[in-house]
A and B are shown apart, each in its own frame.
Chain A
Amino acid sequence: MIEVKELRKQFGAVAAVDGVTFTAPSGAITGLLGPNGAGKTTTIRMLGSLIDIGSGTIKIDGVDVGREPENARLVCGILTDARGLYPRLTARENIRYYAQIRGVDSSRSEATINRFVEWLDMKEIINRRTEGFSQGERMKVAIARALVHEPSTVVLDEPTNGLDVMTTRALRQLIKRLRAEGRTVMFSSHIMQEVAALCDEIVIIARGKVSAQGTTDALLAQSGAENLEDAFVRLAGIEEEAPSAEETFA
């Protein structure tokens, strides 16, 4: 379970995250939905204690990320938008390296890697060097690498960005599978259809603030919109901004 309370982060004069509060329960998929620049990536970076928490608290399975960053990193697997692989290592070696760093014993990590090979259809690429991999192939390796220690909490930052249909499908299935295993799954996206199709719980975030949280139905009811796209636009407050922008340019 991820519990975020009153999270804030300031970069210079810009409040990237400005009082975000939400809960992502175990055994469920939570979508972090928001336009570009809403503060999704900054929130996720703080979850992974990659940057200092400005103020507020994050707890992952009860572990306070601000106080015990290394323990928090133990229980979660996070995929941020930086997905660089080592081009001279094979896909398997890339994944294995993270398993070794995390101290997963080799028989267990090899079994996990083989499971990912099957789930994400990586048979052809697993023993090839990652140099020249397509974006989808790189993404598959990056996901397997981030989850090789079988974390109880999985956080994926815009995982379907730039992926083809088949890879996206495989990824969706993986996300559902992780939920079925009882893990906490959270992913961010700016694509409504994807969030609607997968998520049990949606957190809409805009301009560093949570503007709504709930199930798809609850959000529809709250916004009075007929579909999620309209609900998103209304709840994220994008609609109000558009005319004013037009006025400025007029």
Chain B
Amino acid sequence: MNTTNQKNVANRLPSRLQTIFTVARKELIDHIRDKRTIIMVFLLSIALGPLILMGLGFFISNMESKAERREIFVQGQEHAPELMNFLQRQDFRVMTPKADFRALVEAGKHDAVLVIPKDFSQKLLQGEAKLELVYDDTRQGSSSMTVRPIRNAVRAFNAELASQRLIARGVAPGVLQSIELTDTNLGSASARAAGLLWIIPWVTLFGCVAGAMAMAIDLVAGERERGSLEPILMNPISRDALVVGKALALSVYSLSIALLTLLGFALMLKYGNLPSIGTVLSLSAAQYAGFIIMVATFAPAMTVLMMALGTYGRNFKEGQTYANYFLQVIAMMPFITLIGDIKDATWQLFVPMMAQLMVVTRLLRGESVDFMHYAIPAAINVAIFVGAVVLITRLLRNEKIIFGRA
């Protein structure tokens, strides 16, 4: 080989963009060939939507039927014939609770129970009657949902009794009750279910990061462990082109997972025949587009950040450990807002995951979403992506990282 020949080789060196595409293509082919992982991840992604919607649908119809049912569990019915009579007139079905209802209520397996003491009728005449209401409001079980109808029924019974006594004494009931409060509850069961809509963006966003974890770690940490990092760096390839190529492949993969999850939701909403969901959620093309815009920058940023964390690991396993902590933080985000009772604060737009959850949930609820809702999270994600790429590139100049830390 002579000198002119070498010049030819030098002249043909691919552009940075070509290198990025070469690397991205190779990484995608390489990882798509990992058939078992791919099939699992893709199947789970597309099944996630239908599963969540079915669960949500079951939850809503359950709440609706409980509200319609007008059933009351009463312990000691025989001690209060007047009250039983009243409840029956109000179309309530009075039922006897199970013997160990206290334990069951505590375990979230029994509706709330009204307990009538033996001396109820006697005390009622003296105006000192007491009733006990057994429920557990610390859990999302059935007792907390059935408390309200019992309270209302007892209150109504009390009011009826008082008016009867006033009328018997020749006093108009209105004297005692100058204000009458009528309940008009606009919050239907489906509206309450709308409070759970954040689950849809949550599983989509979490899924596209979690599903790409193995690939994110394999791209650098795995490459080093296999002993293929050192030889590839011997090529006249710029490290940033190599890292961007890998980041591009990872982004494509992660976005495919997100789109598949979204497709699962879309198919289930359209063809799933879920009447109870239909009242809460029907998505237009614009809403889907908004959702996709939010994921489009989120998935690349988060997965490349995970790749950077993986690069710090001495091997695949260690990289996986770091990435796992990161995943947990992402999974926890919605609960921070729930526990802190934070409702769509502007600062949330600056926190990845919180921002996407907030904006997409607003979209699903049909609330207004403006330009800043899209622009701020996108800008943050672009900054994270660039930062992570720069960080990995730097790490790949570090001898300790290339050869594994001693």
Chain A interface (Cβ < 8 Å from any Cβ of B):
48, 50-52, 61, 70-71, 73-75, 78-80, 82-89, 93, 97-98, 100-105, 129, 142, 145-146, 149-152, 181-183
Report Cα–Cα, A47/B3, bound state, in Å: 20
SS of B interface (majority): helix
Report Cα–Cα, A104/B1, bound state, in Å: 15
Q: Inside 8 A of B126's CB, which chain A residues have their CB?
A: none
Report Cα–Cα, A78/B29, bound state, in Å: 26
Chain B interface residue count, Cβ-Cβ cutoff 8 angstroms? 35
SS of A interface (majority): loop
Q: Which B66-122 residues sit within 8 Å CB-CB of chain A? A: none
Q: Inside 8 A of B238's CB, which chain A residues have their CB?
A: 70
Given A71-B10, A74-B236, A88-B34, residue A145 in contact with residue B22 (CB < 8 A):
no
Known interface pairs A82-B227, A82-B231; 18 further A-B residue pairs with C-beta atoms within 8 A, sorted by A's residue number: A50-B234, A51-B402, A74-B10, A74-B236, A80-B231, A83-B231, A89-B29, A89-B30, A100-B22, A101-B235, A102-B14, A104-B9, A146-B231, A146-B234, A149-B9, A152-B1, A152-B6, A181-B1
Closest residue of chain B to A138 (Cβ to Cβ) is: B227
Q: Which B215-255 residues sit within 8 Å CB-CB of chain A? A: 223, 226-238
Interface 0/1 of B305-340, CB less than 8 Å to A: 000000000000000000000000000000000000
Say if the beta carbon of B399 comes within 8 Å of chain A. Answer: yes
Q: Inside 8 A of A88's CB, which chain B residues have their CB?
A: 30-31, 33-34
Pair A102/B235 contact, Cβ less than 8 Å: yes
Pair A183/B12 contact, Cβ less than 8 Å: no
Pair B12/A103 contact, Cβ less than 8 Å: yes
Question: Which residue of the partner chain, among B6, B13, B30, B226, contacts A103 with CB atoms under 8 Å?
Answer: B13
Q: Which B1-29 residues sit within 8 Å CB-CB of chain A? A: 1, 3, 5-6, 9-10, 12-14, 18-19, 22-23, 26, 29
Pair A101/B23 contact, Cβ less than 8 Å: yes
Closest residue of chain B to A26 (Cβ to Cβ) is: B1
Question: Which residue of the partner chain, among A48, A89, A97, A129, contacts B234 with CB atoms under 8 Å?
Answer: A48
Pair B228/A97 contact, Cβ less than 8 Å: no
Report Cα–Cα, A142/B228, bound state, in Å: 10
Closest residue of chain B to A100 (Cβ to Cβ) is: B22
Chain B interface (Cβ < 8 Å from any Cβ of A):
1, 3, 5-6, 9-10, 12-14, 18-19, 22-23, 26, 29-31, 33-34, 223, 226-238, 399, 402
Q: List 6 A-B contacts (CB under 8 A).
A: A50-B234, A61-B3, A74-B13, A84-B230, A102-B235, A146-B231
CB distance from B12 to the nearest CB of A (A): 4
Q: Inside 8 A of B233's CB, which chain A residues have their CB?
A: 50
CB distance from B249 to the nearest CB of A (A): 13
Pair B235/A82 contact, Cβ less than 8 Å: no
CB distance from B311 to the nearest CB of A (A): 16
Pair B236/A97 contact, Cβ less than 8 Å: no
Q: Inside 8 A of B235's CB, which chain A residues have their CB?
A: 73, 98, 101-102
Q: Inside 8 A of B227's CB, which chain A residues have their CB?
A: 82-84
Pair B226/A84 contact, Cβ less than 8 Å: yes
Q: Inside 8 A of B10's CB, which chain A residues have their CB?
A: 71, 74
Pair A73/B234 contact, Cβ less than 8 Å: yes
Q: Inside 8 A of B31's CB, which chain A residues have their CB?
A: 88
| Pairs of residues from A and B, 5 with the lowest C-beta to C-beta distance, nearest first | A84-B227, A84-B228, A82-B230, A84-B226, A82-B227
Question: Which residue of the partner chain, among A73, A79, A93, contacts B236 with CB atoms under 8 Å?
Answer: A73
Pair B14/A103 contact, Cβ less than 8 Å: yes
Report Cα–Cα, A16/B229, bound state, in Å: 22
CB distance from B297 to the nearest CB of A (A): 28
Report Cα–Cα, A98/B238, bound state, in Å: 13
Q: Inside 8 A of A151's CB, which chain B residues have their CB?
A: 1
Question: Which residue of the partner chain, among B6, B12, B226, B237, contacts A75 with CB atoms under 8 Å?
Answer: B6
Q: Inside 8 A of A129's CB, which chain B residues have their CB?
A: 33
Pair A100/B236 contact, Cβ less than 8 Å: no
Pair B22/A51 contact, Cβ less than 8 Å: no
Q: Inside 8 A of A86's CB, which chain B residues have their CB?
A: 26, 30, 226, 228
Report Cα–Cα, A169/B370, bound state, in Å: 71
Pair A82/B228 contact, Cβ less than 8 Å: yes
Q: Inside 8 A of B22's CB, which chain A residues have their CB?
A: 97, 100-101
Report Cα–Cα, A146/B228, bound state, in Å: 12
Report Cα–Cα, A78/B13, bound state, in Å: 18
Report Cα–Cα, A98/B231, bound state, in Å: 10
Pair B12/A104 contact, Cβ less than 8 Å: yes
Report Cα–Cα, A100/B29, bound state, in Å: 15
Q: Inside 8 A of A89's CB, which chain B residues have their CB?
A: 26, 29-30, 33
Pair A150/B1 contact, Cβ less than 8 Å: yes
Q: Inside 8 A of A84's CB, which chain B residues have their CB?
A: 223, 226-231
Q: Inside 8 A of B234's CB, which chain A residues have their CB?
A: 48, 50, 73, 78, 80, 146
Report Cα–Cα, A100/B5, bound state, in Å: 18
Report Cα–Cα, A131/B174, bound state, in Å: 88
Report Cα–Cα, A100/B21, bound state, in Å: 10
Pair B6/A74 contact, Cβ less than 8 Å: yes
